[in-house]
């Protein structure tokens, strides 16, 4: 589909917040197409009044009925949301490609991820288990239960404009929470289209108000959200700088934060690795989404015995990508554009900095002179001590570092401030277990013989250190969206005190 067909198919051409002709005064934000540098449409910015209405509505819906709807019934609504997303999967995926620049397969894959988390949440709605424990007091029963938390604030980034919201929203919904979503102003059209798809289901069942969306600036909406005591949890995905600010403000009101921030992810290739698997994983991890994933492979540690072969294979693989850089909606394209001109400039500065610090560009390193924000994927021979290697540049730059000793490679992998994703390629059981041990990777995600990118929704997603410590999506991440309550019932006729205390 072309741009106008996508907007029409999703009814964005007649949405009250969208101007396909491109309103451009201070009350509008322009959604741009990074592949052409041209505007897609303009979106009207909402203000503090709109934010207040959204939060008040979500809070009222939470108090009056949503928290009291049985969890399996909430799960049934989420199942219907998954079906609605299935019906629009391809066109929503194409909108993501249009607005973010990620290739069509990745755009559609992102909506599939939203569908998958709906399926996960449906099952979860019947598994919000508490724990029964033995009381030390006779004729007493003690147990834990989990209650809905309240209104959840969700702040999402441009690079996964639908999936990150769904990870949070679908789990929060089955937990009995309502929510307010503040999306990135780089991808407002995706947010509106996904929100309208979900709200259409809620309208059919007279359940409006569970999911609220506010398109606004950080000053008007973001700051209000993180300071709002009516929002007991703020889930924020973005940069480490943003996360520090959000964390400090929310902590000052003793609220909860679920932070998923940056990742300077490393992949280790050992001498005994299956190089066919390793090279494929590195290429997708470093080039996929044009290096604009939080799980992008940014540092490659290669054991000296296979280093030259790995570098040679990578350069040959990158050569095959160059002619397939272009329009992300073209199914032949393997790499789309950067999100905007500023991102390209940041990449070029990082490459120049790496060269000044002793790095050698082995492949790429240039912007492509064509409309849009296109660059060459870049490989740089580096050392672990180079300061630029310790920084996360949100771009397709891969630093290749040779090593001899595995323990030293793991220590160098762990030496950066972020701790999101990591991987090792080896055919040695001992090496793999060393990497996964207490003395191994310090990241929230540690993989063996698969890359750093492409996490499944069944596992809790997130990382340590400056990555923020939050966990979203699968496993027991649902506990972040609920409040724990310890309950004790005395079914006897006496009132014994704990710890054997006698009183009176």
Catalytic residues: 260, 294
Q: How far apart are CA 152 and CA 230, in angstroms?
A: 9
User: Which residues have CB under 8 Å from 72's CB, separation 6+?
Assistant: 125, 126
Q: How far apart are CA 61 and CA 178, in angstroms?
A: 7
CB distance 348 to 355 below 8 Å: no
Sheet holding 151-155, edge to edge: 211-213, 178-182, 151-155, 233-237, 256-260
Q: For residue 416, what are its two tokens? A: 């950066």
Report the DSSP pairing between strands 18-19 and 460-461: unpaired
Three-state SS for 71?
Answer: helix
Q: How far apart are CA 115 and CA 167, in angstroms?
A: 10
Q: How far apart are CA 469 and CA 453, in angstroms?
A: 18
Three-state SS for 319?
Answer: helix
Residues of the chain by 3-state class (helix, strand, coil), percent to 5: 40, 20, 35
Q: How far apart are CA 20 and CA 12, in angstroms?
A: 8
Three-state SS for 160?
Answer: coil
Q: Which of 477, 498, 504 is nearest to 137 (CA)?
A: 498
Say how many Å lie between the first and final Cα of the chain, rounded.
80
């Amino acid at each position: 589909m072309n741009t106008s067909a996508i907007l029409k198919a999703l009814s964005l051409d007649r949405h009250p917040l969208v101007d396909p002709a491109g309103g451009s005064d201070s009350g509008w934000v322009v959604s741009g197409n990074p592949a052409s540098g041209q505007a897609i449409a303009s979106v009207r910015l909402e203000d503090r009044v709109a934010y207040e209405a959204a939060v008040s509505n979500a809070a009222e819906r939470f108090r009056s009925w949503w928290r009291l709807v049985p969890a399996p019934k909430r799960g049934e609504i989420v199942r219907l949301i998954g079906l609605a997303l299935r019906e629009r999967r391809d066109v929503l995926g194409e909108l993501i490609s249009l607005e973010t620049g990620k290739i069509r397969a990745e755009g559609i894959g992102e909506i599939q991820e939203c569908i998958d988390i709906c399926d996960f949440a449906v099952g979860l709605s019947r598994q919000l288990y508490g724990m029964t424990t033995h009381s030390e007091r006779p004729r007493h029963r003690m147990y834990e239960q989990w209650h809905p938390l309240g209104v959840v604030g969700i702040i999402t980034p441009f690079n996964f404009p639908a999936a990150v919201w769904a990870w949070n929203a679908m789990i929060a919904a089955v937990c009995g929470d309502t929510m307010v979503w503040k999306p990135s102003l780089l991808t407002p059209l995706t947010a509106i289209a996904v929100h309208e798809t979900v709200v259409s289901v809620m309208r059919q069942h007279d359940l409006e108000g569970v999911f609220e969306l506010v398109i606004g600036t950080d000053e008007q909406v973001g700051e209000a959200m993180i300071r709002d005591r009516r929002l007991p949890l703020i889930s924020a995905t973005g940069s480490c700088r943003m996360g520090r600010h959000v964390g400090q403000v929310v902590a000052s009101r003793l609220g909860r934060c679920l932070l998923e921030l940056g990742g300077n992810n490393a992949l280790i290739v050992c001498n005994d690795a299956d190089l066919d698997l390793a090279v494929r994983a590195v290429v997708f991890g470093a080039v996929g989404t044009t290096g604009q994933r939080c799980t992008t492979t940014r540092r490659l540690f290669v054991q000296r015995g296979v280093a030259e072969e790995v570098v040679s294979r990578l350069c040959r693989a990158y050569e095959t990508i160059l002619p397939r850089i272009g329009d992300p909606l073209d199914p032949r394209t393997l790499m789309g554009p950067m999100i905007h001109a500023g991102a390209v400039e940041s990449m070029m500065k990082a490459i120049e900095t790496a060269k000044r610090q002793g790095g050698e560009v082995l492949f790429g390193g240039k912007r492509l002179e064509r409309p849009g924000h296109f660059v060459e994927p870049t490989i740089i021979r580096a050392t672990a001590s180079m300061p630029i290697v310790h920084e996360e540049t949100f771009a397709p730059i891969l630093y290749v570092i040779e090593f001899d000793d595995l323990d030293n490679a793991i220590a160098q992998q762990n030496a950066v401030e972020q701790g999101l994703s990591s991987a090792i390629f080896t055919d040695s059981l001992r090496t793999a277990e060393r990497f996964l041990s207490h003395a191994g990777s310090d990241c929230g995600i540690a993989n063996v013989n698969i890359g750093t990118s492409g996490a499944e929704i069944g596992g809790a997603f997130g990382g340590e250190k400056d990555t923020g410590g939050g966990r979203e999506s699968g496993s027991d991440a649902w506990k972040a969206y609920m409040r724990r309550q310890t309950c004790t019932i005395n079914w006897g006729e006496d009132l014994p005190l704990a710890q054997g205390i006698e009183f009176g």
